[in-house]
Amino acid sequence: MKAVVQRVNRARVLVGDRLIGQIDSGLVVFLGIEQDDQEEQVDRLAKRVAHLRIFADQNGKINLSLVETKGQVLVVSQFTLCANTESGRRPSFIQAAAPEEADRLYQMFQARLREEYNLKVASGEFGAMMTVEAINDGPATFILEEKGRGGKLS
């Protein structure tokens, strides 16, 4: 499971001209789900996203998490994060999870953020062609990855 996380002042996602989801200050999470991903990766990644200390405290130090700032999250499914681009000019998506399983874990990831961490979560539309608009804060962009067992969170 891979996530590209961007700190934003605001963001929204559209399908055609329809507004699907939007947030104010918080994070946009582009989520890629791979074949072997399971619920334990969802749990660990949701915890990491919720507690990633990338927001400024009252002294301007990058010291606070999304939970502490009561920020919002926009989660967008993005199977292209699972691409293998090691050779050739055409990415291979063979590692991406099957759509049904990817959607199940995508929905679970959002539910964990809402239920476990009491965050306001908006989302894109799974499988749709989307337009994502984000006003980056920083910019501050991070790549998080969860694989197999382990991945301790400090």
Q: Of these residues, 35, 80, 85, 131, which one is catalytic? A: 80
- 114 Cβ neighbours under 8 A, 6+ residues apart: 120, 121
CA–CA gap between residue 146 and residue 42 (Å, rounded): 8
Q: Of these residues, 6, 41, 72, 78, which one is catalytic? A: 78
- Asked if 141 is an active-site residue, the reply is no
Q: Of these residues, 30, 55, 72, 79, which one is catalytic? A: 79
- Asked if 78 is an active-site residue, the reply is yes
CA–CA gap between residue 100 and residue 131 (Å, rounded): 22
Upstream peptide bond of 91 is cis (omega within 30 degrees of 0):
no
CA–CA gap between residue 49 and residue 28 (Å, rounded): 10
Residues known to be catalytic: 78-80
